Homo-oligomer: A and B are copies of this chain.
Protein backbone atom coordinates (compact mmCIF):
# COMPACT_ATOMS: atom_id res chain seq x y z
CA UNK A 1 0.00 0.00 0.00
CA UNK A 2 1.69 3.15 -1.24
CA UNK A 3 0.51 6.28 0.57
CA UNK A 4 1.36 9.75 -0.69
CA UNK A 5 0.87 12.83 1.48
CA UNK A 6 0.66 15.95 -0.65
CA UNK A 7 3.01 18.76 0.37
CA UNK A 8 2.70 22.31 -0.95
CA UNK A 9 3.76 25.80 0.10
CA UNK A 10 1.44 26.91 2.87
CA UNK A 11 0.60 23.39 4.04
CA UNK A 12 -0.30 23.36 7.75
CA UNK A 13 2.65 21.59 9.34
CA UNK A 14 0.86 19.31 11.79
CA UNK A 15 -1.81 18.42 9.20
CA UNK A 16 0.91 16.74 7.15
CA UNK A 17 3.23 15.49 9.91
CA UNK A 18 0.55 14.04 12.26
CA UNK A 19 -0.69 11.41 9.83
CA UNK A 20 2.88 10.84 8.59
CA UNK A 21 4.05 10.12 12.15
CA UNK A 22 1.26 7.61 12.74
CA UNK A 23 1.59 5.70 9.46
CA UNK A 24 5.40 5.73 9.36
CA UNK A 25 5.55 4.65 13.03
CA UNK A 26 3.46 1.58 12.14
CA UNK A 27 5.97 0.74 9.41
CA UNK A 28 8.92 1.34 11.76
CA UNK A 29 7.42 -1.02 14.36
CA UNK A 30 6.56 -3.64 11.71
CA UNK A 31 8.94 -3.36 8.76
CA UNK A 32 7.22 -6.26 7.01
CA UNK A 33 3.98 -4.27 6.81
CA UNK A 34 2.80 -3.66 3.24
CA UNK A 35 2.94 0.11 3.62
CA UNK A 36 5.11 2.91 2.34
CA UNK A 37 4.47 6.54 3.27
CA UNK A 38 6.02 9.36 1.28
CA UNK A 39 5.72 13.09 1.14
CA UNK A 40 4.91 14.09 -2.42
CA UNK A 41 5.00 17.53 -4.02
CA UNK A 42 5.37 19.39 -7.30
CA UNK A 43 8.78 20.70 -6.16
CA UNK A 44 11.27 19.40 -3.65
CA UNK A 45 11.39 22.09 -0.99
CA UNK A 46 8.18 23.22 0.59
CA UNK A 47 7.57 25.94 3.15
CA UNK A 48 4.71 25.29 5.57
CA UNK A 49 2.06 27.77 6.69
CA UNK A 50 4.06 28.40 9.86
CA UNK A 51 7.44 28.51 8.13
CA UNK A 52 8.68 24.94 8.62
CA UNK A 53 10.76 23.83 5.66
CA UNK A 54 10.28 20.26 4.51
CA UNK A 55 11.61 18.29 1.56
CA UNK A 56 9.33 16.02 -0.44
CA UNK A 57 10.46 12.42 -0.96
CA UNK A 58 8.96 12.35 -4.42
CA UNK A 59 8.58 15.23 -6.83
CA UNK A 60 6.03 14.51 -9.53
CA UNK A 61 2.60 15.49 -10.69
CA UNK A 62 1.46 12.02 -11.68
CA UNK A 63 -0.40 10.24 -8.86
CA UNK A 64 -1.03 6.90 -10.57
CA UNK A 65 1.62 4.98 -8.61
CA UNK A 66 -0.19 5.66 -5.31
CA UNK A 67 -2.83 3.51 -3.61
CA UNK A 68 -3.99 6.26 -1.25
CA UNK A 69 -3.63 10.03 -1.54
CA UNK A 70 -3.81 12.23 1.57
CA UNK A 71 -4.36 15.98 1.16
CA UNK A 72 -3.49 18.07 4.25
CA UNK A 73 -4.92 21.54 4.83
CA UNK A 74 -3.53 25.01 5.34
CA UNK A 75 -3.74 28.36 3.55
CA UNK A 76 -1.81 26.82 0.64
CA UNK A 77 -4.85 24.74 -0.31
CA UNK A 78 -6.22 27.79 -2.19
CA UNK A 79 -3.38 27.59 -4.72
CA UNK A 80 -3.68 23.81 -4.98
CA UNK A 81 -7.43 24.13 -5.64
CA UNK A 82 -6.69 26.73 -8.34
CA UNK A 83 -4.35 24.35 -10.19
CA UNK A 84 -6.75 22.90 -12.79
CA UNK A 85 -4.38 20.18 -13.87
CA UNK A 86 -3.96 19.06 -10.24
CA UNK A 87 -7.72 19.13 -9.75
CA UNK A 88 -8.17 16.86 -12.79
CA UNK A 89 -5.47 14.50 -11.44
CA UNK A 90 -7.08 14.31 -8.01
CA UNK A 91 -10.57 13.75 -9.48
CA UNK A 92 -9.27 11.03 -11.76
CA UNK A 93 -7.33 9.41 -8.91
CA UNK A 94 -10.24 9.68 -6.45
CA UNK A 95 -12.70 8.17 -8.91
CA UNK A 96 -10.69 4.95 -8.84
CA UNK A 97 -8.80 4.91 -5.55
CA UNK A 98 -9.18 6.09 -1.94
CA UNK A 99 -8.46 9.69 -1.03
CA UNK A 100 -8.29 11.30 2.40
CA UNK A 101 -7.97 14.85 3.67
CA UNK A 102 -7.06 16.66 6.86
CA UNK A 103 -8.51 20.03 7.84
CA UNK A 104 -9.04 22.36 4.84
CA UNK A 105 -7.59 19.67 2.60
CA UNK A 106 -11.30 18.82 2.26
CA UNK A 107 -11.75 22.03 0.24
CA UNK A 108 -9.27 20.66 -2.31
CA UNK A 109 -11.31 17.46 -2.58
CA UNK A 110 -14.45 19.59 -2.90
CA UNK A 111 -12.90 21.68 -5.70
CA UNK A 112 -11.78 18.51 -7.47
CA UNK A 113 -15.41 17.37 -7.44
CA UNK A 114 -15.04 14.44 -5.06
CA UNK A 115 -17.32 15.58 -2.21
CA UNK A 116 -20.66 16.33 -3.91
CA UNK A 117 -23.41 14.83 -1.74
CA UNK A 118 -20.94 13.02 0.47
CA UNK A 119 -20.67 13.02 4.24
CA UNK A 120 -17.50 14.90 5.12
CA UNK A 121 -15.76 17.11 7.65
CA UNK A 122 -13.08 19.81 7.74
CA UNK A 123 -11.59 22.48 9.98
CA UNK A 124 -14.34 24.18 12.03
CA UNK A 125 -13.58 27.49 10.32
CA UNK A 126 -14.30 25.98 6.88
CA UNK A 127 -17.50 24.14 7.74
CA UNK A 128 -19.79 26.62 5.97
CA UNK A 129 -17.67 26.53 2.82
CA UNK A 130 -17.89 22.74 2.80
CA UNK A 131 -21.62 22.70 3.50
CA UNK A 132 -22.43 24.12 0.05
CA UNK A 133 -21.33 20.78 -1.44
CA UNK A 134 -21.19 18.07 1.19
CA UNK A 135 -23.24 16.83 4.12
CA UNK A 136 -21.09 18.10 6.98
CA UNK A 137 -20.60 15.73 9.91
CA UNK A 138 -18.95 17.13 13.05
CA UNK A 139 -16.70 14.20 13.86
CA UNK A 140 -12.91 13.82 14.00
CA UNK A 141 -12.86 11.46 11.01
CA UNK A 142 -15.67 10.87 8.51
CA UNK A 143 -15.57 8.02 6.01
CA UNK A 144 -17.96 7.97 3.08
CA UNK A 145 -17.14 5.25 0.59
CA UNK A 146 -13.58 5.73 -0.58
CA UNK A 147 -13.35 9.33 0.66
CA UNK A 148 -12.21 9.95 4.23
CA UNK A 149 -12.03 13.45 5.67
CA UNK A 150 -10.66 14.57 9.03
CA UNK A 151 -11.30 17.67 11.15
CA UNK A 152 -8.72 20.37 11.87
CA UNK A 153 -4.95 20.00 12.47
CA UNK A 154 -4.62 17.52 15.37
CA UNK A 155 -7.28 15.32 13.73
CA UNK A 156 -4.43 14.39 11.37
CA UNK A 157 -3.34 11.93 14.08
CA UNK A 158 -6.85 10.49 14.28
CA UNK A 159 -6.92 10.06 10.50
CA UNK A 160 -3.67 8.07 10.68
CA UNK A 161 -5.09 5.78 13.36
CA UNK A 162 -8.36 5.41 11.42
CA UNK A 163 -6.43 4.34 8.31
CA UNK A 164 -4.35 1.86 10.31
CA UNK A 165 -7.49 0.35 11.88
CA UNK A 166 -9.19 0.07 8.53
CA UNK A 167 -6.33 -1.38 6.53
CA UNK A 168 -4.31 -3.28 9.13
CA UNK A 169 -6.66 -3.84 12.09
CA UNK A 170 -7.37 -2.24 15.47
CA UNK A 171 -4.43 -3.82 17.30
CA UNK A 172 -1.86 -2.02 15.18
CA UNK A 173 -3.71 1.27 15.61
CA UNK A 174 -3.74 0.76 19.37
CA UNK A 175 -0.04 -0.13 19.42
CA UNK A 176 0.90 3.03 17.53
CA UNK A 177 -1.40 5.21 19.66
CA UNK A 178 0.31 3.84 22.76
CA UNK A 179 3.78 4.45 21.32
CA UNK A 180 3.01 8.06 20.51
CA UNK A 181 1.37 8.36 23.96
CA UNK A 182 -1.91 9.67 22.63
CA UNK A 183 -4.08 10.55 25.65
CA UNK A 184 -7.22 8.51 26.16
CA UNK A 185 -6.58 6.15 23.29
CA UNK A 186 -6.32 3.10 25.59
CA UNK A 187 -10.04 3.53 26.25
CA UNK A 188 -10.92 3.49 22.54
The interface of chain A, by Cβ under 8 A from chain B, is 12-14, 17-18, 20-21, 24-25, 27-28, 39, 45, 49-55, 57, 123-124, 140, 151-155, 157, 179-184
Roughly how many angstroms separate A140 CA and B183 CA in the complex, as a whole number?
A: 9
Roughly how many angstroms separate A13 CA and B156 CA in the complex, as a whole number?
A: 14
- CB–CB A21/B45 < 8 A: no
The residues of B that contact A12 with a CB separation of less than 8 Å are 21
- CB–CB B24/A18 < 8 A: no
Q: Determine which of B20, B124, B179 lies in contact with A13 in the assembled complex, contact meaning CB atoms within 8 Å.
A: B20
- CB–CB A20/B50 < 8 A: yes
The residues of B that contact A14 with a CB separation of less than 8 Å are 17-18, 21, 180
- CB–CB B50/A28 < 8 A: yes
Q: Give chain B nearest CB distance to A155 CB in angstroms.
A: 6
The residues of B that contact A54 with a CB separation of less than 8 Å are 52-55
* Also in contact, A57 and B50, with CB within 8 A (given A20-B13, A151-B181, A181-B151): no
Q: Give chain B nearest CB distance to A103 CB in angstroms.
A: 8
The residues of B that contact A151 with a CB separation of less than 8 Å are 181
7 contacts between A and B (CB under 8 A): A13-B21, A13-B24, A20-B52, A24-B51, A152-B180, A153-B181, A154-B183
Roughly how many angstroms separate A183 CA and B155 CA in the complex, as a whole number?
A: 9
The residues of B that contact A154 with a CB separation of less than 8 Å are 157, 180-183
- CB–CB B53/A24 < 8 A: no
Of the listed residues A14, A45, A182, the one surrounded by the most CB atoms of chain B closer than 10 A to its CB is A14
